[in-house]
Amino acid sequence: MKAARYHVAHETRYEYHQPVGLSRQVVRLAPRVVPWQVCRAHALTIQPDAVILSVRSDAFGNPVTSFAIEADHAALRVRAESWIDVAARAFPDDAATPPWEKVRARLAYHGGARPLPADLDAARFLFESTRVRNKRELATWALASFPPGVPLLVGVRALMNRIHREFTFDPEATDVSTPVMEVFTRRRGVCQDFAHLMLSCLRSIGLAARYVSGYLLTRPPPGRPRLIGADASHAWVSVYCPDQGWVDTDPTNAIFPGKEHVTLGWGRDYDDVIPLRGVLLGGGDHEISIEVTVTPAADYEALFKQPLPELPPLDAPAR
């Protein structure tokens, strides 16, 4: 099946009330290359001019760019543009995956036993992190989806569907710092909250799961044009299934992601994949604005009023 091709533009602007004399920032806006996704082109534009300190991979393999601005400035603009090909994925059959208790036992620590490399890597995602909590209340709630002997992905899908069914998407209910237990109590939130909640549930019963950041193609209402800057970042969850690898699941939309999900990176929680973070000297208060546009290649010329750029062929290495 032919891959879908998207242009993704993600722009962040800061307006400072006082001049900033020094700014050092870390950017995580370059899409990952994974078996179902290839980044054909990626460009980062920074204003004012910055010194690139490093381009590397972090501890989770996510592409990271670090930069510094040492001249006084009253604003900062960081724009990432990427061309990405996303193919359909082959998911394991839910019923054919191992019982969830066997997965939990395999990932548990056993003194003197040498874990398989993939299991050892997955073990990093068993524990609490800054925004994910392992709680008895969450384990009890999650176990309703994981009766004894149920195949792992059967339980994962049931938990995903429960979160989608029992929680309300409400952008006004939470902010970036809302604790996961408050989300659990209030039953409201956004994709980041639902991802953290699902992670907390899975880790609370001994399963390895990681936070995935990216984008989801959205469609304008019938008869309305696609708008620049009308999209947003998205978040979902990836669960470790021994001998099958990692399986993505989107509790906000109750689906296993497909060709309309673009993967940026992953980590233990949102703090590991914040798109732009850093330190600065000066600045005082500030205003921030973020615009995200995910555009299918077929719509690019009409939306941006310019021809499609030439991209490397499918058999060329990604840039």
What pLDDT, on a 0 to 100 scale, did the predictor assign at position 162?
Answer: 97
Evaluate whether residue 317 is within a structural domain.
no
Q: Are residues 175 and 295 in the same domain?
A: no
Q: Are residues 138 and 74 in the same domain?
A: no
Cβ-Cβ contacts under 8 Å for 120 (sequence gap 6 or more): none
Q: Confidence class of residue 244 from pLDDT cuts 50, 70 and 90?
A: very high
Q: Are residues 113 and 73 in the same domain?
A: no
Q: Whole-prediction pTM value?
A: 0.93
- CATH, residue 289: 2.60.40.2250
pLDDT tens for residues 115-142?
899 999 999 999 999 999 999 999 999 9
Q: Are residues 58 and 123 in the same domain?
A: no
CA-CA-CA-CA torsion sign (209, 213, 219, 220): positive
Cβ contact 33:318 at 8 Å: yes
Q: Are residues 182 and 246 in the same domain?
A: yes
Q: Are residues 221 and 188 in the same domain?
A: yes
Nearest to 241 by CA among 45, 99, 135, 32: 99
- Neighbour tally for 110: CB within 10 Å: 10
Report the domain count for the chain.
Answer: 2
Q: Are residues 151 and 231 in the same domain?
A: yes
Q: Are residues 102 and 186 in the same domain?
A: yes
> 309, exposed or middle or buried, with CB in 10 Å at 0-12, 13-18, 19+?
exposed
> 225, exposed or middle or buried, with CB in 10 Å at 0-12, 13-18, 19+?
exposed
What pLDDT, on a 0 to 100 scale, did the predictor assign at position 229?
Answer: 61
Q: Confidence class of residue 112 from pLDDT cuts 50, 70 and 90?
A: confident
Cβ contact 6:262 at 8 Å: yes
Q: Are residues 25 and 59 in the same domain?
A: yes
What pLDDT, on a 0 to 100 scale, did the predictor assign at position 284?
Answer: 86
Nearest to 87 by CA among 43, 40, 34, 42: 34
Q: Confidence class of residue 302 from pLDDT cuts 50, 70 and 90?
A: confident
Cβ contact 14:286 at 8 Å: yes
Coil, strand, or helix at residue 25?
Answer: strand
Q: Are residues 139 and 19 in the same domain?
A: no
- CATH, residue 100: 3.10.620.30
Nearest to 153 by CA among 212, 201, 91: 91
How many percent of the chain have pLDDT more than 70? 95
pLDDT tens for residues 171-214?
999 988 899 999 999 999 999 999 999 999 999 999 999 999 99
What pLDDT, on a 0 to 100 scale, did the predictor assign at position 318?
Answer: 42
Q: Are residues 230 and 282 in the same domain?
A: no
Q: Confidence class of residue 111 from pLDDT cuts 50, 70 and 90?
A: confident
Residue 301 CA, chain-centre distance (Å), reads: 28
What's the rounded Cα separation, in Å, for the pair 288 and 290? 7
53: left (phi over 0), alpha (psi -120 to 50) or beta: alpha
Range(s) of the domain holding residue 33: 4-87+273-304
